[in-house]
Structure 1
Amino acid sequence: MRHVLSAVVQNQPGVLAQISGMLASRGFNIDSLAVGATEVPEMARMTFVVRGDDSELEQVRKQLGKVVTVVRVMDISSEDFVERDLMLIKVKSSAQQRVEISLMVEMFRARVVDITHDTLVIEVSGTEGKIEAFIELMRPYGIIELSRTGRIALVRGSLTEGPKA
């Protein structure tokens, strides 16, 4: 089962290595990981996606909660949450293909962020499914490179409190 974990941690060196090491030592592969500062500068939010059964993940969540630098860990998979991923993708593009690609960019509410004579760099944000669908549409044109962020997510409404300083 796919789990989206959200952890509020102290924003200091080594926290990412400590948490990712703990997950790896328990045999979990991290499918997606994003870390960034929160509205409280001393805190960071880590959002990671892992696969495993509920009981295994509950143990990991409890162990993460014991780490000194971790303020709070939630498995938000069963909550109503908003998630986004960001991708930059560079595709081959002749002058004739630009109109066709631009229509797809518009339909996906994406945007072209760089153009050269033979390439386009496109920024796409959205759910994992949207990102995957856009990649598949771009394959016939020739994907030169792509880079994706990890997933970020927040629970809808006022279920959780923000980080505490």
Structure 2
Amino acid sequence: MQHTISALVHNRPGVLADMADKFKGHDVNIRSISAGETEKPEITRIVISVDGQSEDVKAIRQAMSTMEVVISVDDMDRRDFVDRELALIKVAMDRESTTQLMQIFEVFRANVVGMGTETITVEMTGDEERVAAFVRMLAPFGIKSMCRTGMIALKRGDD
């Protein structure tokens, strides 16, 4: 089962490694991990998307919450939240495929950020499912390389 954990932590060296270390010993796979400063430079938000059993994820969240650098840990799956991911994708391109690729880019609101003689590089943002659908649409053309940021997320509403 997929879970999304959001943690606010004090912005100090080693915090991300210490947080990731809490997953050792549990049969939980980290699918993506993103970290960045919040509106307060001394505080970092870490968003971790994981596959694992609810009991294991709960134990990991509890272990994280006992760390002195942790301000709060939240299981985003219990709340309505907005998530986004950025993907940079380099796709094979030839004269015959250019029009089709440009139509796909338009549908997904992807932006061309680089072009070579045989490839085109695009950036696309969206939720995880939308990025995955974009990747599936580009796969038949030949994805030469790809980099995804991993999920970032915030609760909806006034929380």
Give the TM-score, by structure 1 length: 0.92
Deviation at 1:94, TM superposition (A): 1.1
Deviation at 1:115, TM superposition (A): 1.0
CA deviation digits over 1:39-79, x for unaligned, max 9?
00001000001122323222211110000111110001121
Percent identical pairs in the alignment equals 36
Q: Which residue of 2 aligns with 1:163?
A: none
Q: How far apart in 2 are the matches of 1:80 and 1:110?
A: 26
CA contact (8 A) 2:8 2:46 kept: yes
Equivalent pairs, count: 159
AA paired with 1:46? I
Q: Unaligned regions of 5+ residues in structure 2, if any?
A: none
AA paired with 2:45? R
C-alpha root-mean-square deviation of aligned residues, in Å? 1.1
Q: Which residue of 1 aligns with 2:92?
A: 92
AA paired with 1:90? K
Q: How far apart in 2 are the matches of 1:84 and 1:44?
A: 17
CA contact (8 A) 1:11 1:44 kept: yes
AA paired with 2:3? H
Q: How far apart in 1 are the matches of 2:74 and 2:127?
A: 20
Q: How far apart in 1 are the matches of 2:51 and 2:138?
A: 28
Q: Unaligned regions of 5+ residues in structure 1, if any?
A: 160-165
CA contact (8 A) 2:26 2:56 kept: no
CA deviation digits over 1:67-126, x for unaligned, max 9?
011111000112110001110000111133212101110000111111111110010111
Give the TM-score, by structure 2 length: 0.95
Q: Which residue of 2 aligns with 1:49?
A: 49
Does 2:75 align with 1:78?
no
**33-42 vs 130-139, which moves further:** 130-139
Does 2:130 align with 1:133?
no
Q: Which residue of 2 aligns with 1:157?
A: 157
